[in-house]
């Protein structure tokens, strides 16, 4: 699958407007499919750790293949859950797989059989909230759209690209805020805020926060740095403030997120409980 991801990236770079995949309802160019795969992968990063499984409970379609690649892009792997299988067989598969997340389609969630399966998954995984383990693809894409959708939009807008690059490259600077960016780019703070609202439906502050949280997730997943060491690398001065914002963004404390990101959902990390 990694080879397929490399092929997709290469094809996107060479033939962005050439038709890549299609089914009975949708067709995608290499450019569209590349961004869709990245968007899904980024959304899955909030749930999937390295080498952790993602269940895919979807009809056969181009979007399902994008989820397969997105799961690999996020560092995990995927397992197909056939929508035509009886509930007892699905129960056996999920019991063995124990996925950190099951991706489905909104239409299937609204289907009576799918609703029963969702309840089954919730019970087996001991989840207190359905959305923690059973997400519609549409919801996952939406959760990642702020940053990845911005990257796609910036390709055709030099001014937007300049603004986003300034925030992304300086995310570790604790002084980074709307006024700092505006001063750096020789524009007013009001113009900067209005421009992002019109072109991305967000604000500079929200975008900066989103970028910092994504960098924090990456450091928690891929390094053994303590939380107090991560905090200054993403532009924060206070551990408690970072923990509150991180939990508000992901639903987990940083330590919980790191634990879930390890193989088997466990972490050998022994850092202190400074996150409280």
Q: Is the pLDDT of residue 192 over 80?
A: yes
CA–CA separation, 156 vs 227, rounded Å?
A: 37
Q: Is the pLDDT of residue 271 over 80?
A: no
Q: Write out pLDDT tens, residues 60-92.
A: 888 889 889 888 887 788 888 888 887 778 778
Q: Closest Cα to residue 265, out of 273, 255, 275, 274?
A: 255
CA–CA separation, 158 vs 153, rounded Å?
A: 10
Q: Write out pLDDT tens, residues 101-133.
A: 788 876 776 665 555 665 655 554 444 333 334
Three-state DSSP class for residue 247: helix
CA–CA separation, 158 vs 265, rounded Å?
A: 42
Q: Is the pLDDT of residue 146 over 50?
A: no
CA–CA separation, 113 vs 84, rounded Å?
A: 10
The predicted pLDDT at position 117 comes to 60
Beta strands 77-80; 27-29: pairing state: unpaired
Average pLDDT over the chain, rounded to an integer = 77
CA–CA separation, 83 vs 90, rounded Å?
A: 9
The predicted pLDDT at position 238 comes to 92
Secondary structure in 3-state letters for 205-234: HHHHHHHHHHHHHHHHHHCCCCHHHHHHHH
CA–CA separation, 134 vs 9, rounded Å?
A: 29
The predicted pLDDT at position 38 comes to 78
For the residues 158-163, what does the mean pLDDT come to?
86
Q: Write out pLDDT tens, residues 198-221.
A: 887 889 998 899 889 888 988 887
- H helical segments located in 78-136: 87-97, 106-109, 112-125
What is this structure's pTM? 0.51
The predicted pLDDT at position 232 comes to 94
For the residues 17-25, what does the mean pLDDT come to?
87
């Amino acid at each position: 699958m990694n080879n397929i991801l490399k092929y997709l990236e290469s094809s996107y770079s060479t033939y962005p407007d050439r038709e890549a995949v299609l089914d009975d309802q949708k067709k995608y160019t290499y450019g569209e499919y590349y961004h869709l795969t990245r968007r899904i992968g980024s959304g899955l990063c909030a749930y999937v750790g390295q080498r952790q499984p993602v269940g895919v409970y979807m009809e056969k379609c181009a979007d399902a293949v994008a989820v397969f690649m997105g799961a690999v892009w996020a560092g995990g792997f995927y397992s197909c859950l056939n929508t035509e299988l009886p509930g007892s067989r699905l129960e056996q598969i999920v019991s063995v797989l124990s996925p950190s997340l099951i991706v489905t389609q909104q239409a299937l969630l609204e289907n009576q059989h799918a609703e029963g399966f969702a309840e089954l998954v919730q019970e087996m995984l001991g989840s207190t909230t359905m959305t923690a383990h059973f997400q519609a693809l549409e919801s996952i894409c939406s959760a990642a759209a702020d940053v990845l959708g911005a990257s796609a939009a910036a390709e055709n807008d030099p001014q937007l690209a300049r603004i986003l690059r300034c925030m992304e490259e300086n995310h570790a600077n604790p002084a980074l805020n709307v006024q700092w960016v505006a001063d750096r780019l020789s524009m007013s703070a009001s113009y900067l805020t209005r421009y992002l609202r019109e072109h991305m439906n967000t604000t500079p502050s929200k975008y900066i926060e989103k970028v910092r949280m994504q960098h924090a997730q990456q450091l928690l997943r891929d390094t053994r740095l303590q939380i107090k060491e991560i905090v200054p690398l993403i532009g924060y001065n206070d551990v408690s403030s970072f923990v509150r914002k991180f939990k508000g963004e992901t639903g987990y404390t940083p330590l919980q997120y790191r634990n879930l990101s390890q193989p088997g959902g466990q972490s050998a990390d022994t850092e202190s409980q400074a996150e409280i």
